[in-house]
Copies of this chain bind each other. A is one copy, B any other.
Amino acid sequence: MNRPVRSRAKKPSIQDVATLAGVSRTTVSFVVNNAPDASISESTRDRVWAAVKELNWRPNAMARGLSSRRSHTIGFISDGFVSDESVATPLAGKTIQGVQDAALATDKMVLVCNTGRNRKVERDTIEMLLERQVEGIIYATMFHHSVVPPAAISQVPVVLLDCFADDRSLPSVVPDEVQGARTATEVLLQKGHRRIGFINNVDPMPAQTERLEGYKQALASHDVPFESRLVQYCTTTHTSGGYRCAMSLMQLSEPPTALFCFNDLTAMGVYDALRQLGLSIPEDVAIIGFDNLELIAAQLYPPLSTMELPHYQMGQWAVQYLIEHADNPHDDKPVQHKIPCPFIARSSA
């Protein structure tokens, strides 16, 4: 059988389907969109679908979006997949993966935009997403902190991811920092450690204060007194901070036997310091990190035990929340949902 070769310019139209099925374009549209009020006989429906199949016609999703008032598309705005220093962050990939898996499960797609923390780009991007009639917007940041998104964002349901509005006017999903630090410290306590150092981040942020709180909670629950000199602060965006803090902590008259590190990069620097001091991990000093950047944690020797930042799960939760609240965005008071940070056991503690 010879079939005419159709060039791209001549894709079948709804009119072609209507002609082949012997019905009107409106009837084709009603059938394909499952319009609830249209009384169309079963045999007519069958003819339309046969014509759709015969012509391999693809209903225009934009047209369907117009009629059903749904674009089946979610907007994802991030302040960066790549940091100021052009460092690509693998956590952004985990977030997008979680967002996309949850979206695809309900046949939705995700428009992804990175605004690089530029307010004008942010406003323009939100405008472009609204023009495309997104059903909701996920507004994500590279680390847990408070934000003030452009007001226009509130025209559709919104979830803030790894960030929050100070006035709690928008729902948000963030890691449970207190639990993460408490769990890490408890793991070390349960292994018998009583002198546990904590290398914390020097800049004020929720992770800094809440992880200190979790560390203190765990110590208290095991009747271990808090000693402020066991907590040191450094810049945690480079290994050198962890290196210097570990060197300093190990010079205490009673040095710690375990170190809880603000993140995996800090732990990587601690590894260098302990190696230089001739100390073994975990025999002489046990180490637990934070983030679970596999590229570091699984590759260090010995592999680093760490607390995972739940980026995949935050992405999933955000989409599910948007879908549940798409029609009734103001039903509930905005929540701040905290997702636990699981302990990833490797060999350093």
B88 adjacent to A265 (CB under 8 Å): no
Q: Report B-chain residues with C-beta under 8 Å of the C-beta of A299.
A: 238-239, 265, 268, 296
Closest B residue to A96 using CB positions: B81
**Chain A: interface residue total (CB-CB under 8 A):** 64
Query: How far is B124's CA from A104's CA once the two chains are assembled, in angstroms?
Result: 10
In this complex, which of A65, A91, A93, A155 has the most chain B Cβ atoms within 10 angstroms of its Cβ? Answer: A93
- Answer yes or no: A114 CB below 8 A from chain B CBs: yes
Contact B113 A104 (CB under 8 A): yes
Which residues of B have CB within 8 Å of A59?
Answer: 131
Does A132 sit at the interface, judged by CB under 8 A? yes
Residues of B within 8 A of A11 (CB): 155
In the assembled complex, which residues on chain B have CB atoms less than 8 Å from the CB atom of A268? 299
Q: Given known contacts A62-B62, A110-B111, is B93 in contact with A301 (CB within 8 Å)?
A: no
| Residue A90 interfacial (CB < 8 Å) | yes
Residues on the B chain within 8 Å of A112, using CB: 76, 96, 100, 110-112
Q: Which of chain B's residues have a CB closer than 8 A to the CB of A73? A: 111, 132
Q: Which residues of B contact A94 (CB under 8 A)?
A: 81-82, 88
Task: Report yes or no: A294 in contact with B113, Cβ–Cβ below 8 A.
Answer: no
A252 within 8 A of B: no
A93-124, CB under 8 A of B: which get 1 and which 0? Answer: 11011001000100101111110000001000
Residues 38-72 of chain A: 1 if any B CB is under 8 Å from the residue's CB, otherwise 0? Answer: 00000000000000000000111111111000010
- A249–chain B nearest beta-carbon distance, Å: 19
Cβ-defined partner of A296 (8 Å) among B81, B132, B295:
B295
Residue A329, interface by CB 8 Å:
yes
A313 CB–B CB distance under 8 Å: no
Which single member of B71, B91, B92, B238 contacts A62 (CB below 8 Å)?
A: B71
Given known A60-B131, A87-B294, A121-B104, contact A81–B93 (CB-CB < 8 A): yes
Asked if B90 contacts A89 (CB within 8 A), the reply is yes
Min C-beta distance of A309 to chain B, whole Å: 11
> Chain B contacts of A63 at CB under 8 A?
62, 66
Q: Are B93 and A62 in contact (CB under 8 A)?
A: no
Q: Is the CB of A128 within 8 A of B109?
A: yes
Bound together, the chains give a CA A81 to CA B78 distance in angstroms of 16
A-B contact pairs, 14 of them (CB 8 A): A58-B130, A81-B94, A82-B93, A82-B97, A87-B298, A88-B293, A88-B294, A89-B93, A90-B295, A96-B96, A96-B112, A265-B299, A268-B299, A295-B296
Beyond A88-B294, A89-B93, 16 additional pairs, beta carbon < 8 A: A58-B130, A61-B133, A62-B65, A62-B66, A62-B132, A66-B66, A81-B94, A82-B93, A86-B294, A87-B294, A88-B295, A90-B90, A90-B93, A110-B113, A111-B112, A265-B295
